[in-house]
Homo-oligomer: A and B are copies of this chain.
Amino acid sequence: MTKKKTNQGVEILAIGTELLLGNILNSNAKWLAEQLALIGLSHYRQTVVGDNIERLKEIVLEASQRSHILITTGGLGPTMDDLTTETIAQAFKADLVEHKAILQDIKNKLNNLDIFPESNLKQSLLPEGATILPNPLGTAPGMIWSPEDNFTIITFPGVPSEMKIMWKKTAKPWILENHASGKIIKSKTIKIAGIPESALTERISDLITKTNPTIAPYASLGEVKLRITAQAKTAQEANKLIQPIESELEKRIGLSIFGRDEESLASIVIDLLRKRRETIALAESCTGGQIASSLTSIPGSSDVFLGGVVAYSNSIKQNILKVPLNLLEEHGAVSSAVAKSMANKTRQLFNSDWSIAVSGIAGPSGGSQGKPVGLVEIFISGNTAQESIQENFGPHRGRDYIQKLSVVRALDRLRLFLLMQS
């Protein structure tokens, strides 16, 4: 009774009311999606459903109409609202069979308990014909079960560590043996700052229509990512497809590419400074410590980052950074002159090779005709070189946006500035 399927791929179904209430992120689906991509299995849909028998049954039956493999996470525990196994069995009108091996395994794992908990008993039941998917860490085994020709259900518990080891030890080898596509999918992400998404995509519009590899843009605050994805028989072949595209992007976008894959502006700036064996210190006004936070979120940042002053009030700019009073009075705190003084004094105070100062009006109040909310002065200071940058991010996108974009811009300008220094 082989059916005509619409999608012919894999689906992931995460089961748990806590996901529908927004209590937790569906990190299991992300992880499994990545694993499926790595072994080249097509995966077209992810679903989340609560701990509800009727709705779960409905989704499992839908999936059997369109896909070859349904991977589920969650609902295998011992409590009343863990109902994945029995509901799937019901959906295909199968009986549950007790597995002595599971019972024994649970007994071993609960060896501190004198009495076998009634509630764990149901974890030893699987639909007739299902294979145990062993759980080396917890009491909840999964299963691999084909209730129909051409349709297999693989169940995992929701606990990420258990799900991951079960995938690696049993599920992935089973899939590779039974559903090998012969192809793998590999991605590389190119990260860009300083160019709006629309302008960028116009510059590479001919490349975006390609099919292997594909190129897809994703915009986030102040950054654009281009994801290059190739299908091939081996990782080496996939890399050979990705490489010329990456070179072409480098040619067209140049220095606006700041990093790849897991790299961030902060990690790149730290790497650049580490290679130069140079240090940096910060004077932050409107960004209020966010540049420091961003740098210190990177392990090993202490190699190059000495510290900073969050000079939020004018008196601190004057008393700690020693910005001359006449500069503050003549130009105002948000001025190129004051940013320059803040940067230079910070470099002296911390005895660092470089410093950045940021002073701006993040709003919502504090703006004026000449100095509107969104105006930000950035100054980069070094022994032999310096740069003054003025940005106007506008008032409309709010305080959080102005602060975050100031961080991106300061780190990106420092990056470009360091690249120019030989």
Identify the A interface with B (CB < 8 A). 6-7, 16-27, 29-37, 43-52, 55, 58-59, 77-81, 110, 113, 117-120, 136-139, 158-159, 161, 165, 185, 187, 189, 196-199, 201-202, 205, 208-209, 216-221, 227, 229, 282, 284, 287-293, 295-297, 299-302, 305-313, 315-316, 319-320, 349-351, 363-365, 396-401, 403
Contact = CB atoms under 8 A, between A and B. Distances in A.
B79 A364 contact: no
Given A18-B218, A23-B187, A289-B292, A307 B311 contact: yes
Contacts of A32: 22
Nearest to A138: B219
Given A81-B216, A290-B293, 18 more contacts: A21-B227, A24-B30, A26-B29, A46-B46, A80-B208, A80-B209, A113-B196, A117-B198, A137-B397, A137-B401, A159-B220, A282-B310, A288-B293, A289-B289, A297-B399, A306-B313, A307-B310, A307-B316
Contact of A292 (B30, B216, B310): B310
Contacts of A313: 302, 306-307
Identical copies in the complex: 2
A334 to B, nearest CB: 13
A400 B21 contact: no
A359 to B, nearest CB: 12
A220 B113 CA distance: 19
A78 B350 contact: no
Nearest to A306: B313
A215 B350 CA distance: 51
A288 to B, nearest CB: 3
A310 B312 contact: no
Contacts of A196: 110, 113
